[in-house]
A and B are shown apart, each in its own frame.
Chain A
Amino acid sequence: MNKNSENLYRFLVGLADDSVVLSHRLSEWCSNGPYLEEDIALSNIALDYIGRARMFYQYAVEIEGKGRTEDDIAYHRNEREFTNTLIHELPINDFAFTMVRQYFVDVFYCEYLQQLTQSSDSQVAAIAAKALKESRYHLKRSEPWIKQLSEGTEESKHRVQLALDELENFVGEMFLMEDWEKELVEQGIAVDREALQADWDKQVQEFLAESEMKFPDSQLQIRGGRNGIHTEHLGHMLSEMQYLQRVHPGLKW
Chain B
Amino acid sequence: MQTVDDAAAQIEFDRRIADEQKIEPTDWMPDAYRKNLIRQMSQHAHSEVIGMQPEGNWITRAPSLRRKAVLLSKVQDEAGHGLYLYSATESLGITRSELIEALQTGVAKYASIFNYPTLTWADVGAIGWLVDGAAIVNQISLQRTSYGPYSRAMIRICKEESFHQRQGYEIMYELAHGSPEQKAMAQDAMNRNWWPALMMFGPHDSDSAHSGKSMQWKIKRQSNDYLRQKFIDQTVPQIEVLGLEMPDPEIKWNEELGQYDSGEINWEEFYQVINGSGPCNYQRLKHHKKAHQDGEWVREAVRAYSEKQQAKKEQKSA
A interface residues with partner B (beta carbon < 8 Å): 20, 24, 27-28, 30-40, 43-44, 46-47, 50-51, 53-54, 57, 70-71, 74-75, 94-95, 147-149, 151-153, 155-156, 159, 240-241, 243-245, 248, 251-253
Contact = CB atoms under 8 A, between A and B. Distances in A.
B60 A241 contact: yes
A159 B296 CA distance: 13
Nearest to A30: B56
Nearest to B121: A244
B65 A50 contact: yes
A40 B76 contact: yes
A251 B182 contact: yes
B63 A20 contact: no
Interface residues on B, range: 35 or more
B302 A148 contact: yes
Contact of A75 (B64, B82, B296, B302): B64
A132 B65 CA distance: 21
B73 A47 contact: yes
Given A32-B294, A35-B299, A70-B65, A252 B56 contact: no
B40 to A, nearest CB: 20
B301 A50 contact: no
Contact of B287 (A31, A46, A148): A31
A50 B295 contact: no
B18 interface: no
The interface centre, meaning the residue of A20, A43, A53, A74 with most chain B CB atoms within 10 A of its CB, is A43
Nearest to B76: A43
A53 B65 contact: yes
A37 B86 CA distance: 12
A33 B291 contact: yes
A33 B121 contact: no
B294 A39 contact: no
7 contacts: A34-B291, A53-B65, A71-B65, A75-B63, A75-B64, A151-B305, A159-B297
B139 interface: no
B301 A155 contact: yes
B223 to A, nearest CB: 32
Interface in B252-291: 287, 291
B49 to A, nearest CB: 7
The interface centre, meaning the residue of B64, B73, B175, B299 with most chain A CB atoms within 10 A of its CB, is B64
A30 B72 contact: yes
Contacts of A54: 65-66, 69
B72 A47 contact: yes
Contact of B182 (A43, A243, A248): A248
A187 B65 CA distance: 31
A34 B299 contact: yes
A251 B179 contact: yes
B291 A32 contact: yes
Contact of B301 (A32, A74, A156): A156
A151 B181 CA distance: 54
B304 interface: yes
Contacts of B59: 27-28, 30
A51 B302 CA distance: 31
B111 interface: no
A235 to B, nearest CB: 14
Contacts of B80: 40
A89 to B, nearest CB: 13
Nearest to B293: A34
